[in-house]
């Protein structure tokens, strides 16, 4: 079609298409710029009965600072999270945490396929999952890498069972939910009842109630580790 053959309708149609094309280009360029600023991801190991608040808060918070999150599990599939809480006013008192169904979360990769050298750090959440995840040899291999390499590791609540089983907290000071104090001590660590404890590359917290100070300290460590690299 020659320019002289264009009708008013053709011209209007072409002009209307320009902003959409520019928007697409701008969006693509912005995405490339964002990706270029992204750091190596942070690994979050999970399993069935992973605690929802322990897991979802870092799942959304960590990427805000340019660190993608990769969720890993015994297999690459969908997992059931749970809500762990001592009911504030139950009809029949509970001496221990009550467990209720929570949201679902998908693991992108199985532990056996994880190359920990490709990650900036690790976040270990709690719930009932760590009780059996600590028997996974690939997860133990992964966990030891982060400590041997001095990469930032965050552990909350029952997550202490994983790092204790991996043999990486001996001689350290940590905190965790009070009922897991023995797990910390059996791993050779000193347990203290504080919201957050920093010891070397490890940031530990008691429960999801400590999420705000806990994540503040972990993100400081994570960002500082990238600047050093």
CB contact at 8 A, 200 and 172: yes
Element at 224 (helix H, strand E):
helix 211-228
Which of 80, 84, 145, 158 is flagged as catalytic? 158
Q: Is the separation of the CB atoms in 165 and 124 below 8 Å?
A: no
What is the length of the chain?
A: 229
Tokens describing residue 63: 């990427």
* Cβ atoms of 181 and 158 closer than 8 Å: no
Greatest alpha-carbon pair distance for the chain in Å reads 85
Please, is 183 exposed, middle or buried when counting C-beta atoms within 10 Å of its C-beta (0-12, 13-18, 19+)?
buried
Contact 130, 162 (CB under 8 A): yes
Q: Is 158 marked active-site?
A: yes
**Burial bucket for residue 125 (CB in 10 Å: 0-12, 13-18, 19+):** buried
Catalytic residues: 158
């Amino acid at each position: 079609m020659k320019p002289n053959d264009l009708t008013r309708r053709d011209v209007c149609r072409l002009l209307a298409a320009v902003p959409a094309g520019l928007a697409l280009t701008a969006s693509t360029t912005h995405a490339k710029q964002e990706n270029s600023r992204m750091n190596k991801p942070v690994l979050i190991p999970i399993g069935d009965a992973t605690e929802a608040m322990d897991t979802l808060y870092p799942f959304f918070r960590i990427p805000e600072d340019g660190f993608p999150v990769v969720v890993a599990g015994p297999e690459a599939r969908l997992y059931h999270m749970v809500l762990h809480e001592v009911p504030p006013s139950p009809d029949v008192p509970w001496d221990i945490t009550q467990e209720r169904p929570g949201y679902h979360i998908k693991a992108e990769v199985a532990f056996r396929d994880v190359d920990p050298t490709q990650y900036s750090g690790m976040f270990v959440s709690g719930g009932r999952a760590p009780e059996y995840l600590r028997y996974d040899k690939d997860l133990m291999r992964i966990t030891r890498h982060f400590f041997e390499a001095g990469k930032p590791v965050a552990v909350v609540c029952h997550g202490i069972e994983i790092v204790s089983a991996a043999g990486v907290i001996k001689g350290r000071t940590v905190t965790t939910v009070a009922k897991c104090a023995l797990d910390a001590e059996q791993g050779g660590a000193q347990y203290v009842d504080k919201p957050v404890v920093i010891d070397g590359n490890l940031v530990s917290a008691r429960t999801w109630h400590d999420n705000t100070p806990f994540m503040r300290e972990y993100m400081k460590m994570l960002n500082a580790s990238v600047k050093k690299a």
